[in-house]
Amino acid sequence: MFGNYMYYNTAYLIYLLPGLILGLYAQAKVKGAFAEYSKKESGGNFTGASLARKILDDHGLSHVPVNQVPGNLTDFYNPQDETLHLSQGVYGKSSVAALAVAAHECGHAIQDAEDYKPLRIRSWLVPAAQFGSNFAYILVFVGLIFSNFLTNLGIALYAIAVLFTLVTLPVEYNASSRAKNILATLLPSGDQKGVHKMLDAAALTYVASLVSALGTLLRLMAISNNRRN
C-alpha cells in the first residue's frame, strides 16, 4: 500500500515537465522584457497612470478610478467594482514597459464595458476553478483508496481549472491587441517595438499556464487509469 502511494507520487511527473519548462521560459522572457523596456523612456508624454486615465476617458470610462498597488507586475483590473490597479513600477513611470502594462489593463476595462463574453465566462469560472485546483489532488488520491466516484469528481473539478486557463487566453490576447492598437495612435513609432515585445512575452505566460494545467489533468487521469487496470 505505502509502496503504491510512493509510486503514484513519483510516476507521471513527466506530464508536468512541459508546463514547467515553458513556464520558466515565459517568466524569464517577461522579466527580461520588463527589465529592458522599463529602462527605455517612452517618447510620449505619459505616465502609466495618466495614460490609463486618458484611455479610460476616451472610451467613456471616466467612472473607473486608477489606483496604485504595491508590488512588481501586480497590475490588474477588477470587474467586480470596476477599478483599475497599477503597480509601483507602472503607476508613476513613463517607461515603454510601464505604458504597455497600463494600456493592457485598460484593455480589460474596455472588455468589461463592452460585455466581452470570454471575460464574463472567465469571471464565472473563477470560484469552481479555484476550488478545483485546490482540492482535485486530495479527491483523486482519497478516491483511489475509497471510491472511483471521488476520483472522477476530482478529475472533473480539475477539468474546470483547465477550462479556466483556456478561456484566459482569448481574454489576455484580446486585451493586448486592444492595447497595441490604442498605443499605435498615442505613442511615437519608436515605442511600438517595445510595446509589442512586452505584451507578447506576457501572453506567453498564459500559454504556459494552460500547458501546465493540461499536464496536471493528464497526470491525474493516468494515475486513475493505472489504478483501475
> Which residues in this chain contact Zn ion in the complex, by CB under 5 A?
172, 175
Taking the least distance from each CB to Zn ion, the nearer of 12 and 77 is 77
Alpha carbon distances (Å) from 182 to 79, 143, 201: 21, 51, 19
Give the residue from 183, 177, 173 showing the smallest Cα distance to 51: 183
Taking the least distance from each CB to Zn ion, the nearer of 96 and 175 is 175
CB of 200 to Zn ion, least distance (A): 13
Answer whether 86's CB lies under 8 Å from 64's CB.
no
Rg (CA), the chain: 21
Answer whether 168's CB lies under 8 Å from 206's CB.
yes
Answer whether 3's CB lies under 8 Å from 10's CB.
no
Catalytic positions are 105
Taking the least distance from each CB to Zn ion, the nearer of 175 and 183 is 175
